[in-house]
Amino acid sequence: MNQTRVVVTGIGVVSPLGASLKSFWDGLCAGRSGIDKITHFDASDLPCQIAGEIPDFDPNEYMERTEIRRSPRSTHLAIAAAKMALQDADLGTEVPNPERSGVMLGTGIAGIENITKSYDIIKKAGYGRLNPFQLPTGLPNM
């Protein structure tokens, strides 16, 4: 049987336990939960007021300001984790043999805030006022 070998060279983690591999690992080893009361928005009217928010995450450390404005938070988190993985792998900014490299990304949904923003724009001003790039930013692979 011919088996393909895979080598993990770097890990990047942005999670409710922290915005770094070290804080994530320390939280796992300590048995901490990343679930807490919602603080990123007013959830007082919601039946569930807990979530796994990402504490102390600053996308400016990983992306240019214009790219941050043009992309949803889920993209900020994914780019940060990818850059952390590159740094952890000590590969620099250029990946050798990119056609033989891959990324594994785990997400349930992405860009929901952009999807709801699109709905509000269509409802208030009509579809003609909608930026054509608005809806694609709701996809996890953007």
User: Which of 68, 73, 60, 41 is closest to 138 using CA atoms?
Assistant: 73
pLDDT at 101 > cutoff 70:
yes
Q: How many CB atoms within 10 Å of residue 71?
A: 20
Residue pointed to by tokens 């895979």: 6
pLDDT at 141 > cutoff 70:
no
pLDDT at 46 > cutoff 90:
yes
pLDDT at 9 > cutoff 70:
yes
- The residue among 15 and 136 whose pLDDT is bigger is 15
Give per-residue pLDDT as tens, 61-92.
999 999 898 888 888 998 999 899 988 988 77
CB 12 within 8 A of CB 27: no
CB 88 within 8 A of CB 7: no
Specify the pLDDT at position 65.
Answer: 95
* Mean pLDDT score, 1-24: 87
Residue pointed to by tokens 């590969």: 91
Residue 18 forms beta bridges with which residues? 15
Q: What is the DSSP letter of 45?
A: T
Torsion of CA 84, 87, 88, 94, to 10 degrees: 110
